[in-house]
Amino acid sequence: MSASAETGPAQNGGHHAVKRQLLAKLVNEFAAVGVSLDTSGNGPRLLVEDLESGDHIFLSPLELASLCLASDEDREDWIRVGNYRESRESRDPSFGRGPGGNGVRA
């Protein structure tokens, strides 16, 4: 992705143009992500993309503000995904189970 990549309708399945500006690539020994500003939706949002898997998420201003309000415990829970999920489940057998034990969190 270039610093100000735009995709036209032909490359986007006939939909409106995708407008993104790459803001940064953040890489360390644990992860590599690209962060872009996406202005193709109803309002600006950040696109965060895992450069290894291609998985991505769009974050609205409201979601970004909620990151600032999250506790240390909340942020610790976010890290326990993917390859790290099993370690959390083994520490807390009730993880992911609602009151009825049906796998739905309460």
Per DSSP, what are the bridge partners of residue 26? Answer: 33
Query: Which of 23-37, 45-59, 66-80 is least confident?
Result: 66-80
Report pTM. 0.62
Angle at 31 between CA 25 and CA 33, to 5 degrees: 30
82: left (phi over 0), alpha (psi -120 to 50) or beta: left
Dist. CA 38–CA 57, nearest whole Å: 11
Nearest to 23 by CA among 8, 7, 9, 39: 39
pLDDT digits (tens, 9 = 90+) for 54-69: 999 999 999 999 999 9
For the chain, give every domain's residue range. Answer: 1-59, 65-94
